[in-house]
Amino acid sequence: MPFATRAYAAQSATTPLGPFTFDRRDPRPDDVAIEILYCGVCHSDLHQTRNDWNNSTFPMVPGHEIIGRVAAVGSAATKFKPGDMVGVGCMVDSCQHCDPCQHGLEQFCENVPTFTYNGTDRHDHSPTQGGYSERIVVSEKFVLRLPEGLDPKSAAPLLCAGITTYSPLRHWKVGPGSKVAIIGLGGLGHMGLKFAHAFGANVTLFTRSPGKEDEARRLGAHDVVISTDPEQMKAVANRFDFILDTVPTKHDLNPYMATLKLDGTLVLVGLLGPIEPTLSTLPFITGRRSVSGSPIGGIAETQEMLDFCAANGVTSDVEMLDIQNINEAYARMLKSDVRYRFVIDIASLKKDQ
Protein backbone atom coordinates (compact mmCIF):
# COMPACT_ATOMS: atom_id res chain seq x y z
CA MET A 1 0.00 0.00 0.00
CA PRO A 2 1.32 3.51 -0.80
CA PHE A 3 2.15 5.67 2.20
CA ALA A 4 0.09 8.84 2.78
CA THR A 5 2.86 11.38 3.34
CA ARG A 6 2.63 14.87 4.82
CA ALA A 7 4.69 17.55 3.15
CA TYR A 8 4.90 21.20 2.11
CA ALA A 9 4.39 21.91 -1.57
CA ALA A 10 4.09 24.68 -4.11
CA GLN A 11 0.80 24.43 -6.00
CA SER A 12 1.87 26.94 -8.64
CA ALA A 13 4.70 29.34 -9.47
CA THR A 14 2.85 32.23 -7.83
CA THR A 15 1.51 30.69 -4.62
CA PRO A 16 3.34 30.21 -1.32
CA LEU A 17 4.28 26.75 -0.13
CA GLY A 18 1.74 25.12 2.15
CA PRO A 19 0.67 21.79 3.68
CA PHE A 20 0.17 18.97 1.20
CA THR A 21 -0.46 15.23 1.42
CA PHE A 22 0.50 12.74 -1.27
CA ASP A 23 1.17 9.02 -1.61
CA ARG A 24 4.72 7.69 -1.54
CA ARG A 25 5.05 4.51 -3.56
CA ASP A 26 5.64 1.10 -2.05
CA PRO A 27 9.31 0.12 -1.88
CA ARG A 28 10.58 -1.95 -4.79
CA PRO A 29 12.95 -4.87 -4.08
CA ASP A 30 16.09 -2.67 -4.30
CA ASP A 31 14.61 0.31 -2.44
CA VAL A 32 15.26 1.93 0.90
CA ALA A 33 12.39 3.63 2.74
CA ILE A 34 13.67 6.59 4.78
CA GLU A 35 12.09 8.59 7.60
CA ILE A 36 13.28 12.13 6.87
CA LEU A 37 14.70 14.05 9.83
CA TYR A 38 16.25 17.13 8.22
CA CYS A 39 16.20 18.78 4.81
CA GLY A 40 18.39 21.63 3.64
CA VAL A 41 16.91 24.56 1.71
CA CYS A 42 18.74 25.13 -1.57
CA HIS A 43 18.53 28.25 -3.74
CA SER A 44 17.40 25.96 -6.57
CA ASP A 45 14.32 25.06 -4.47
CA LEU A 46 13.29 28.68 -4.78
CA HIS A 47 14.03 28.77 -8.52
CA GLN A 48 12.05 25.59 -9.15
CA THR A 49 9.00 26.55 -7.10
CA ARG A 50 8.85 29.89 -8.96
CA ASN A 51 9.43 28.22 -12.35
CA ASP A 52 12.44 30.46 -13.01
CA TRP A 53 13.90 27.79 -15.33
CA ASN A 54 10.61 27.14 -17.17
CA ASN A 55 10.59 23.42 -16.41
CA SER A 56 8.53 23.18 -13.22
CA THR A 57 5.57 20.86 -12.71
CA PHE A 58 3.07 21.27 -9.89
CA PRO A 59 2.21 20.42 -7.21
CA MET A 60 5.89 20.30 -6.23
CA VAL A 61 7.48 19.15 -2.98
CA PRO A 62 11.03 20.59 -3.06
CA GLY A 63 14.10 19.44 -1.15
CA HIS A 64 17.23 17.52 -2.20
CA GLU A 65 19.49 17.84 0.85
CA ILE A 66 17.97 15.01 2.87
CA ILE A 67 19.15 13.33 6.05
CA GLY A 68 17.07 10.58 7.60
CA ARG A 69 16.86 7.18 9.23
CA VAL A 70 16.21 3.95 7.35
CA ALA A 71 12.72 2.68 8.18
CA ALA A 72 12.62 -0.39 5.91
CA VAL A 73 14.48 -2.01 3.01
CA GLY A 74 13.31 -3.97 0.00
CA SER A 75 13.82 -7.72 -0.32
CA ALA A 76 16.87 -7.32 -2.59
CA ALA A 77 18.47 -4.36 -0.80
CA THR A 78 21.66 -5.30 1.05
CA LYS A 79 23.60 -2.08 1.75
CA PHE A 80 21.45 -0.69 4.58
CA LYS A 81 19.34 -1.85 7.47
CA PRO A 82 16.58 -0.22 9.53
CA GLY A 83 17.97 2.38 11.90
CA ASP A 84 20.92 3.41 9.70
CA MET A 85 21.47 7.15 9.29
CA VAL A 86 21.56 8.03 5.60
CA GLY A 87 21.38 10.86 3.11
CA VAL A 88 19.78 11.51 -0.28
CA GLY A 89 20.99 14.25 -2.59
CA CYS A 90 19.86 15.67 -5.92
CA MET A 91 19.38 12.35 -7.77
CA VAL A 92 17.36 9.25 -7.00
CA ASP A 93 18.09 7.25 -10.17
CA SER A 94 19.80 7.24 -13.58
CA CYS A 95 19.84 4.97 -16.61
CA GLN A 96 22.76 2.96 -15.14
CA HIS A 97 24.01 1.84 -18.56
CA CYS A 98 25.39 4.87 -20.46
CA ASP A 99 29.12 5.60 -20.36
CA PRO A 100 28.98 8.28 -17.60
CA CYS A 101 26.80 6.05 -15.41
CA GLN A 102 29.16 3.12 -15.93
CA HIS A 103 32.01 5.33 -14.68
CA GLY A 104 30.21 6.55 -11.53
CA LEU A 105 29.28 9.90 -13.07
CA GLU A 106 25.51 9.60 -12.77
CA GLN A 107 25.16 13.39 -12.68
CA PHE A 108 26.11 13.35 -16.40
CA CYS A 109 23.73 10.51 -17.34
CA GLU A 110 23.23 10.73 -21.11
CA ASN A 111 19.58 9.83 -20.59
CA VAL A 112 19.17 12.45 -17.83
CA PRO A 113 19.29 11.58 -14.13
CA THR A 114 16.04 11.19 -12.22
CA PHE A 115 16.03 14.19 -9.93
CA THR A 116 14.84 13.97 -6.35
CA TYR A 117 11.98 16.35 -7.06
CA ASN A 118 10.44 17.89 -10.17
CA GLY A 119 11.47 14.73 -11.99
CA THR A 120 9.76 11.64 -13.37
CA ASP A 121 10.26 8.14 -11.98
CA ARG A 122 11.92 5.95 -14.63
CA HIS A 123 9.78 2.92 -13.75
CA ASP A 124 6.22 4.03 -13.03
CA HIS A 125 6.46 7.55 -14.54
CA SER A 126 5.06 9.20 -11.42
CA PRO A 127 6.36 12.67 -10.43
CA THR A 128 9.21 12.63 -7.95
CA GLN A 129 8.67 14.62 -4.75
CA GLY A 130 11.42 15.82 -2.46
CA GLY A 131 12.52 16.20 1.11
CA TYR A 132 10.11 18.78 2.51
CA SER A 133 8.19 15.69 3.60
CA GLU A 134 8.00 12.93 6.19
CA ARG A 135 9.52 10.11 4.17
CA ILE A 136 11.09 9.15 0.87
CA VAL A 137 11.67 5.88 -1.00
CA VAL A 138 14.91 5.62 -3.02
CA SER A 139 16.90 2.94 -4.82
CA GLU A 140 19.72 1.87 -2.50
CA LYS A 141 22.26 2.78 -5.22
CA PHE A 142 21.39 6.44 -4.64
CA VAL A 143 21.40 6.40 -0.83
CA LEU A 144 24.46 7.71 1.02
CA ARG A 145 25.70 6.44 4.36
CA LEU A 146 26.08 9.17 6.99
CA PRO A 147 29.45 8.58 8.70
CA GLU A 148 29.56 8.40 12.47
CA GLY A 149 30.49 11.68 14.10
CA LEU A 150 28.97 13.87 11.38
CA ASP A 151 26.20 16.06 12.81
CA PRO A 152 23.05 15.23 10.81
CA LYS A 153 21.65 18.77 10.89
CA SER A 154 24.75 20.45 9.47
CA ALA A 155 25.40 17.49 7.16
CA ALA A 156 22.16 17.99 5.22
CA PRO A 157 23.48 20.81 2.96
CA LEU A 158 26.51 18.71 2.10
CA LEU A 159 24.23 16.67 -0.19
CA CYS A 160 24.04 19.63 -2.62
CA ALA A 161 26.04 22.69 -1.53
CA GLY A 162 28.82 20.44 -0.28
CA ILE A 163 29.23 18.15 -3.26
CA THR A 164 28.71 21.00 -5.74
CA THR A 165 31.87 22.68 -4.41
CA TYR A 166 33.84 19.55 -3.46
CA SER A 167 33.56 17.95 -6.91
CA PRO A 168 35.19 20.70 -9.03
CA LEU A 169 37.91 21.33 -6.44
CA ARG A 170 38.78 17.62 -6.63
CA HIS A 171 38.44 17.38 -10.42
CA TRP A 172 40.81 20.31 -11.00
CA LYS A 173 43.21 18.82 -8.43
CA VAL A 174 43.24 21.64 -5.91
CA GLY A 175 45.68 20.87 -3.13
CA PRO A 176 48.74 22.12 -1.24
CA GLY A 177 50.40 24.92 -3.18
CA SER A 178 47.27 25.78 -5.19
CA LYS A 179 46.17 29.40 -5.23
CA VAL A 180 42.39 29.39 -5.26
CA ALA A 181 39.71 32.08 -5.23
CA ILE A 182 36.04 31.69 -4.34
CA ILE A 183 33.54 34.19 -5.77
CA GLY A 184 30.62 34.80 -3.42
CA LEU A 185 30.00 34.01 0.24
CA GLY A 186 26.69 32.17 0.42
CA GLY A 187 25.58 28.58 0.83
CA LEU A 188 27.96 27.37 -1.88
CA GLY A 189 30.70 29.93 -1.28
CA HIS A 190 31.15 29.17 2.41
CA MET A 191 31.54 25.47 1.59
CA GLY A 192 34.04 26.32 -1.16
CA LEU A 193 36.16 28.21 1.36
CA LYS A 194 36.03 25.34 3.85
CA PHE A 195 36.92 22.65 1.31
CA ALA A 196 39.70 24.59 -0.43
CA HIS A 197 41.26 25.35 2.95
CA ALA A 198 40.92 21.71 4.06
CA PHE A 199 42.64 20.60 0.82
CA GLY A 200 45.65 22.75 1.74
CA ALA A 201 45.20 25.54 -0.81
CA ASN A 202 45.89 29.23 -0.32
CA VAL A 203 42.37 30.65 -0.48
CA THR A 204 41.04 34.10 -1.37
CA LEU A 205 37.43 35.29 -1.24
CA PHE A 206 36.15 37.64 -3.94
CA THR A 207 33.22 39.66 -2.62
CA ARG A 208 31.42 42.88 -3.50
CA SER A 209 30.61 43.52 0.16
CA PRO A 210 33.20 45.16 2.46
CA GLY A 211 33.16 43.96 6.03
CA LYS A 212 33.24 40.22 5.36
CA GLU A 213 36.95 39.75 6.08
CA ASP A 214 36.65 38.34 9.61
CA GLU A 215 33.87 35.96 8.62
CA ALA A 216 35.75 34.83 5.52
CA ARG A 217 38.88 34.12 7.53
CA ARG A 218 36.86 32.13 10.06
CA LEU A 219 35.65 29.95 7.19
CA GLY A 220 39.14 29.37 5.77
CA ALA A 221 40.09 32.35 3.59
CA HIS A 222 43.62 33.70 3.80
CA ASP A 223 42.76 36.90 1.90
CA VAL A 224 39.71 38.90 0.88
CA VAL A 225 39.47 41.00 -2.30
CA ILE A 226 36.69 43.51 -2.95
CA SER A 227 35.86 42.75 -6.57
CA THR A 228 34.41 46.22 -7.23
CA ASP A 229 37.71 47.91 -6.26
CA PRO A 230 39.89 48.24 -9.40
CA GLU A 231 43.10 48.63 -7.39
CA GLN A 232 42.47 45.47 -5.37
CA MET A 233 41.64 43.55 -8.56
CA LYS A 234 44.79 44.83 -10.28
CA ALA A 235 46.86 43.70 -7.30
CA VAL A 236 45.79 40.07 -7.81
CA ALA A 237 46.34 39.91 -11.58
CA ASN A 238 47.79 36.56 -12.74
CA ARG A 239 47.55 35.10 -9.23
CA PHE A 240 45.10 32.19 -9.22
CA ASP A 241 45.32 28.65 -10.53
CA PHE A 242 41.60 28.10 -10.03
CA ILE A 243 38.53 30.21 -9.37
CA LEU A 244 35.23 28.75 -8.16
CA ASP A 245 32.33 31.03 -9.05
CA THR A 246 29.35 30.35 -6.76
CA VAL A 247 27.19 33.39 -7.59
CA PRO A 248 23.68 32.26 -8.70
CA THR A 249 22.73 35.43 -10.61
CA LYS A 250 23.99 37.17 -13.76
CA HIS A 251 27.31 38.95 -13.25
CA ASP A 252 30.32 40.05 -15.27
CA LEU A 253 33.06 37.40 -15.45
CA ASN A 254 35.54 39.58 -17.35
CA PRO A 255 37.18 41.23 -14.29
CA TYR A 256 38.02 37.82 -12.83
CA MET A 257 39.67 36.40 -15.95
CA ALA A 258 42.73 38.63 -15.61
CA THR A 259 43.32 37.28 -12.09
CA LEU A 260 43.94 33.76 -13.45
CA LYS A 261 47.46 32.48 -14.08
CA LEU A 262 48.58 30.92 -17.33
CA ASP A 263 46.37 27.86 -17.87
CA GLY A 264 44.10 28.91 -15.00
CA THR A 265 40.43 27.91 -14.96
CA LEU A 266 37.28 29.62 -13.70
CA VAL A 267 34.50 27.14 -12.95
CA LEU A 268 30.85 28.12 -12.72
CA VAL A 269 28.70 26.25 -10.21
CA GLY A 270 26.10 28.88 -9.31
CA LEU A 271 24.91 30.53 -12.52
CA LEU A 272 22.42 28.60 -14.65
CA GLY A 273 21.69 30.68 -17.72
CA PRO A 274 23.27 33.20 -20.06
CA ILE A 275 26.59 34.87 -19.28
CA GLU A 276 26.23 38.64 -19.57
CA PRO A 277 27.94 40.78 -20.71
CA THR A 278 29.84 39.00 -23.48
CA LEU A 279 33.17 37.51 -22.44
CA SER A 280 36.27 39.03 -23.99
CA THR A 281 38.43 36.43 -25.75
CA LEU A 282 41.65 38.31 -24.95
CA PRO A 283 42.35 36.57 -21.59
CA PHE A 284 41.70 33.17 -23.17
CA ILE A 285 44.14 33.73 -26.01
CA THR A 286 46.88 35.59 -24.10
CA GLY A 287 46.86 33.32 -21.04
CA ARG A 288 45.40 30.05 -22.29
CA ARG A 289 42.77 30.54 -19.61
CA SER A 290 39.51 28.59 -19.48
CA VAL A 291 35.93 28.90 -18.27
CA SER A 292 34.15 25.70 -17.39
CA GLY A 293 31.21 24.49 -15.35
CA SER A 294 30.43 21.72 -12.91
CA PRO A 295 27.23 20.29 -11.39
CA ILE A 296 26.99 17.96 -8.40
CA GLY A 297 29.14 14.83 -8.10
CA GLY A 298 28.30 11.19 -8.68
CA ILE A 299 27.19 8.88 -5.89
CA ALA A 300 30.66 7.45 -5.17
CA GLU A 301 32.20 10.92 -5.04
CA THR A 302 29.39 12.17 -2.79
CA GLN A 303 30.10 9.34 -0.35
CA GLU A 304 33.81 10.21 -0.56
CA MET A 305 32.91 13.80 0.30
CA LEU A 306 30.84 12.79 3.33
CA ASP A 307 33.67 10.59 4.59
CA PHE A 308 36.16 13.43 4.05
CA CYS A 309 33.92 15.79 6.02
CA ALA A 310 33.65 13.36 8.92
CA ALA A 311 37.41 12.82 8.98
CA ASN A 312 38.25 16.53 8.76
CA GLY A 313 35.46 18.18 10.75
CA VAL A 314 33.91 19.95 7.75
CA THR A 315 30.19 20.76 7.96
CA SER A 316 27.84 23.47 6.76
CA ASP A 317 26.95 26.48 8.90
CA VAL A 318 23.19 26.19 9.30
CA GLU A 319 20.15 27.96 10.69
CA MET A 320 17.41 25.57 11.79
CA LEU A 321 13.90 26.19 10.57
CA ASP A 322 10.37 24.97 11.25
CA ILE A 323 8.70 24.10 7.96
CA GLN A 324 5.86 26.52 8.69
CA ASN A 325 8.41 29.34 8.17
CA ILE A 326 9.60 28.19 4.74
CA ASN A 327 8.09 31.11 2.81
CA GLU A 328 9.79 33.58 5.15
CA ALA A 329 13.04 31.67 4.63
CA TYR A 330 12.67 32.00 0.84
CA ALA A 331 12.20 35.75 1.21
CA ARG A 332 15.31 35.95 3.36
CA MET A 333 17.30 33.87 0.86
CA LEU A 334 16.50 36.43 -1.83
CA LYS A 335 18.12 39.05 0.41
CA SER A 336 21.09 36.78 1.23
CA ASP A 337 19.93 36.92 4.85
CA VAL A 338 21.14 33.50 6.01
CA ARG A 339 24.47 32.20 7.30
CA TYR A 340 24.73 30.05 5.36
CA ARG A 341 22.10 27.41 4.80
CA PHE A 342 18.59 26.92 6.16
CA VAL A 343 17.80 23.39 7.33
CA ILE A 344 14.23 22.27 8.02
CA ASP A 345 13.51 20.19 11.11
CA ILE A 346 10.99 17.83 9.54
CA ALA A 347 9.55 17.00 12.97
CA SER A 348 7.88 20.43 12.73
CA LEU A 349 5.42 18.94 10.20
CA LYS A 350 3.60 17.50 13.24
CA LYS A 351 2.60 21.03 14.24
CA ASP A 352 0.09 21.04 11.38
CA GLN A 353 -1.82 18.04 12.75
In a domain, 308, yes or no: no
Note whether 204 and 337 are same-domain residues. no
The count of domains in the chain is: 2
d(CA 9, CA 27): 22
CATH number, position 172: 3.40.50.720
pLDDT in tens, the chain (353 residues): 567 999 999 999 999 999 999 999 989 999 999 999 999 999 999 999 999 999 999 999 999 999 999 999 999 999 999 999 999 999 999 999 999 999 999 999 999 999 999 999 999 999 999 999 999 999 999 999 999 999 999 999 999 999 999 999 999 999 999 999 999 999 999 999 999 999 999 999 999 988 889 999 999 999 999 999 999 999 999 999 999 999 988 899 999 999 999 999 999 998 777 887 889 999 999 999 999 999 999 999 999 999 999 999 999 999 999 999 999 999 999 998 999 999 999 999 999 87
**The pLDDT value given to residue 337:** 93
**Based on the domain organization, do 14 and 142 belong to the same domain?**
yes
**What pLDDT, on the 0 to 100 scale, is given for residue 210?**
87
Asked whether residue 200 is domain-assigned, the answer is yes
pTM for the model: 0.96
User: 19 - beta bridge partners?
Assistant: 8
Judge whether 335 lies within some domain.
Answer: yes
Predicted pLDDT of residue 1: 55
Q: What is the C-alpha to C-alpha distance for residues 98 and 104, in angstroms, rounded to an integer?
A: 10
**Same-domain status, 146 and 186:** no
Same domain, 212 and 142: no
The answer to whether residue 89 sits within a structural domain is yes
Q: Which domain holds residue 32?
A: 3-160+316-352
Q: What pLDDT score was predicted for residue 273?
A: 78
Kindly state whether residues 154 and 184 are assigned to the same domain.
no
Same domain, 199 and 248: yes
Looking at the structure, do residues 250 and 216 belong to the same domain, yes or no?
yes
CATH no. for residue 98?
Answer: 3.90.180.10
* 310: in domain: no
Q: What is the pLDDT of residue 274?
A: 81
For residues 11 and 149, state if they share a domain: yes
Answer yes or no: do 59 and 156 share one domain: yes
Q: Are residues 94 and 189 in the same domain?
A: no
* Amino acid 277: pLDDT: 84
Q: Are residues 322 and 289 in the same domain?
A: no
Residues 109, 217: one domain?
no
